Amino acid sequence: MGIHDPISPESFSRRVDEWHYRTKGTQFIRMEYEEAMSMAGAGDMVYCDPPYGHSQAILYGARSFSLERLFEVIEKCKSRGVFVALSIDGSKRSGNHLCKLPLPKGLFEKELFISIGRSMFKRFQMNGSSLEHEEVADRLLLTY
Residue 123 — very low, low, confident or very high, per pLDDT cuts 50/70/90? very low
Do 139 and 112 touch, CB atoms closer than 8 A? yes
Q: Residue 92: enclosing H or E segment and its boundaries?
A: strand 83-92
Total residue count of the chain as it appears in this document: 144
Residue 60 — very low, low, confident or very high, per pLDDT cuts 50/70/90? low
Q: What is the pLDDT of residue 99?
A: 78
Mean pLDDT confidence for 118-141: 63
Q: What is the pLDDT of residues 8-56, one digit of tens each?
A: 999 999 999 999 999 999 988 999 999 999 999 999 999 999 987 655 4
> What are the residue boundaries of the structural domains of the chain, listed by start?
31-142
In order, the DSSP letters of 11-63 are HHHHHHHHHHHHTTT-------HHHHHHT--TT-EEEE-PPPTTTHHHHH--T
Q: What is the pLDDT of residues 46-59, one digit of tens each?
A: 999 998 765 544 55
